[in-house]
Amino acid sequence: MKKELGVKPYLYPMPTYMIGTYNEDDSVDVMMMAWGGICAEDMVALNLEEDHKTVANLKARKAFTLAVPGTDTIRESDYLGLVSGNKFPDKFDLTGLHAEKSSRVDAPVITEYPLTLECEVVEMQEQPYGLRVLGKIVNVLAEETVLDEKGKVDAAKLNAFAFDQMRNGYYALGEKIGQAWNIGAPLLKK
């Protein structure tokens, strides 16, 4: 029997993405976010609270990177979600992670993250639930170690992790359990 839980944001998995921007002094700002994702073939949507330092940077620079962190950087990534850039402007430096300037957009690429989307801000929509940022993907960078023999990203090699909103946990992702648009094909014959 199902139990009613009320209105809660209980979907799983929630992505863990890292938004990279530059501060006004060109220092690196990175924050972890889970409220967003792909919304079109070349677009991402981020739902953010207006008071984030990252939001000020997005408004000023009109660019960002969106990276998928691996389990090997879970400690640093979680820290970047815990600590506000408004209170700790050097929070990125304290992680020991490294950044280089994107060649496509005015934002940093964190070298330890295996997959990074380079994005331009297309639109910022103030909504009753927060700020929605729409970004156009202008390029994708991937470490060769996460690519398959055909040069495509292999989800199992990313060692990505998801956020569990229900119990505040992180869970590793990656085991392939079926082929999309194929495993259900036998039901078409019924």
Query: Residue 37, exposed/middle/buried by CB under 10 A (0-12, 13-18, 19+)?
Result: middle
Domain assignments of the chain as residue spans, ordered by start: 14-189
Residue 129's pLDDT band (cuts 50, 70, 90) = confident
Buried b (16+ CB within 10 A) or exposed e, 65-96: bbbbbbbebeebbbbbbebebeeeeebbeebe
Kindly state the percentage of the chain with pLDDT values over 90.
85
Per-residue pLDDT of 71-126, as tens digits, reads 999 999 999 999 999 999 899 999 999 999 999 999 999 999 999 999 999 999 99
Look at residue 9 in the predicted model and tell me its pLDDT: 83
| Average pLDDT for the chain | 95
* CATH number assigned to the domain with residue range 14-189, chosen from the 4 options 3.40.50.300, 1.10.8.80, 3.40.640.10, 2.30.110.10: 2.30.110.10
Segment 41-68 shows an average pLDDT of 96
Tell me the whole-structure pTM to 2 decimals: 0.94
Model pLDDT for residues 7-20, shown as the tens digit of each residue: 988 888 888 999 99
